[in-house]
């Protein structure tokens, strides 16, 4: 079962065990939380989109929704079920009826001001991808809220079979970008008046391209290659600057990047297919600093360890980062592992060598 634990040690059952679902795609991120509106959004393979008012997490009951897998041994445990206001909706309703398992959610993300929710879906029958956008306020208030506009349809031959990374601009709430399986980066802006998508730019496809991230102020986007080379672009994908790799060929592939400050980037390295015997040599995170007219400086965090579990070789691991600005720290995790690492201000601010 998927259990989410919250403050006070309370737990909330979001969905029961899901049987017979063919998860052929990596589920990148299926949980998003809006501090602005006080709701949690969770996408499930069989139940559609679950919208949870965060105030219910503080209730005495440990289970606010009941699945077919829940036991009836303790009726008091579910005493608040009658007051449950958890909202369940399906995205792409005409296709998701009857719990259509041929369409799977792979990514869910809120924009900079929590006003738009993006859901990325994979249609297994055709291997096509859909990106659907909801107005968060309307989604919360309206029982049958329609998407902002028709979902983006991305055939598999157009995106190289997958969408590797999706990123909202952290400062411009209408702007987002994604990198596909061909290594091409596409940037878009949502016209708030016409509610239409505008393509801002698109880079050439390149198998060496790994991941993307916006600058903290949203003025540029960085593209990292598997060897650690960084390319900085304007939102229209015009190349502004290129930084050489801070590592040599002996390092595992670079699979993630987070833009820390003007000249500083945190890079995540991982073996392509770590297994249950992975050790500290399988994962690295490196803080790179590129000062003007100086050699690149690198601080290697080689004491991080993730207990990566064995998984299909065709699904590569992926780093997850949560930046806590007020505390000046970054929480870092990797798929296939239950461990997380915290980089505090002391680690992030130490002198690179």
Report mean pLDDT in 10-residue bins for the chain, 353 residues: 47 56 61 88 80 68 42 41 58 57 85 95 88 92 84 92 93 96 96 89 95 95 95 97 88 88 87 53 80 80 62 57 65 71 65 39
Please tell me the predicted confidence (pLDDT) of residue 68.
43
The count of other CB atoms within 10 Å of the CB of residue 180 is 23
pLDDT score recorded for residue 5: 47
Nearest to 164 by CA among 225, 251, 238: 225
Domain ranges of the chain: 1-8+24-65+78-161
Q: Whole-angstrom Cα distance, residue 42 to residue 18? A: 14
> Could you tell me the two tokens for 352?
């690179």
Kindly compute the dihedral angle of the four CA atoms of residues 217, 218, 223, 227, in this order, to the nearest 10 degrees: 20
Is residue 201 within 8 Å of residue 238, measured between CB atoms?
yes
pLDDT at residue 238, as a whole number: 97
The pTM of the full predicted model, rounded to 2 decimals, is: 0.80
Task: Check: CB of residue 73 under 8 Å from CB of residue 11.
Answer: no
Q: What is the C-alpha to C-alpha distance for residues 121 and 286, in angstroms, rounded to an integer?
A: 32
What's residue 253's pLDDT? Answer: 87
What is the model's pLDDT at position 11? 58
């Amino acid at each position: 079962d998927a259990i989410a634990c919250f403050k006070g040690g309370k737990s909330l059952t979001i969905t029961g065990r899901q049987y017979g679902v063919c998860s052929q795609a990596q589920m990148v991120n299926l949980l998003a939380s809006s501090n602005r509106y006080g709701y949690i959004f969770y996408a499930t393979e069989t139940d559609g989109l679950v919208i949870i008012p965060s105030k219910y997490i503080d209730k005495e009951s440990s289970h606010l929704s009941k699945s077919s897998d829940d036991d009836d041994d303790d009726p008091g445990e579910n005493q608040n079920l009658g007051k449950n206001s958890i909202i369940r909706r399906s995205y792409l309703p005409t296709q998701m009826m009857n719990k259509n398992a041929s369409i799977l959610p792979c990514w869910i993300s809120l924009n900079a001001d929590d006003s738009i929710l993006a859901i990325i879906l994979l249609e297994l029958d055709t291997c096509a991808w859909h990106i659907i956008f909801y107005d968060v306020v309307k989604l919360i208030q309206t029982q049958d809220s329609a998407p902002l506009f028709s979902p983006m349809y991305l055939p598999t031959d157009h995106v190289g079979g997958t969408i590797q990374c999706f990123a909202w601009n952290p400062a411009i709430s209408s702007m987002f970008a994604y990198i596909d399986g061909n290594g091409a980066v596409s940037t878009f802006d949502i016209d708030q008046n016409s509610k239409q998508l505008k393509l801002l730019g698109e880079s050439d496809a390149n198998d060496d391209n790994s991941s993307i991230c916006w600058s903290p102020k949203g003025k540029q986007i960085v593209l990292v290659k598997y060897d650690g080379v960084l390319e900085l672009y304007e939102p229209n994908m015009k190349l502004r600057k290129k930084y050489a790799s801070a590592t040599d060929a002996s390092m595992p592939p670079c699979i993630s990047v987070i833009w820390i400050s003007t000249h500083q980037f945190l890079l995540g390295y991982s073996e392509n297919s770590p297994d249950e015997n992975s050790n500290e040599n399988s994962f690295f995170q490196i803080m790179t600093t590129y000062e003007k007219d100086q050699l690149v400086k690198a601080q290697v965090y080689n004491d991080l360890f993730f207990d990566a579990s064995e998984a299909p070789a065709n699904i590569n691991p992926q780093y997850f980062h949560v930046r806590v600005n007020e505390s000046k720290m970054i929480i870092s995790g990797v798929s296939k592992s239950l461990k997380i690492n915290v980089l505090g201000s002391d680690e992030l601010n130490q002198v690179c060598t």
